[in-house]
Amino acid sequence: MKQPSNQMPKYEDPKVKLYLRVLAWIFVVLFFGSIVYKAYDDIAFRYVILIFIVLILVLSGVGVEKYEKLKRSRKEWDIGKFAKEFNLKEVDTWIVRAVYEAVYDEVEIPIRADDDIDKDLGIDMGDLGFDEILINVSQRTGRVLTEESVEYDDIENIKTIRDLVYFFNGLPQKGE
Block means of pLDDT (10 residues each) for the chain, length 176 residues? 66 69 84 76 76 80 71 84 90 91 88 88 78 87 79 80 91 77
C-alpha 10/C-alpha 165 separation (Å) is: 18
Q: Name the residue ranges covered by the structural domains of the chain.
A: 18-73, 76-169
Phi/psi of residue 16, nearest 5 degrees: -95, 130
What local confidence, expressed as pLDDT, does residue 164 receive?
Answer: 92
Per-residue CA distances from 80 to 120, 134, 140 (Å): 20, 22, 19
* 161 touches 103 (CB < 8 A): yes
SS3 of 96, please?
helix
Asked if 49 contacts 35 with a C-beta cutoff of 8 angstroms, the reply is yes
Of 117, 83, 95, the C-alpha closest to 109 is 117
**Which pLDDT score is estimated for 41?**
72
- CATH code: domain 76-169 is 1.10.1200
The confidence score (pLDDT) of residue 14 equals 66
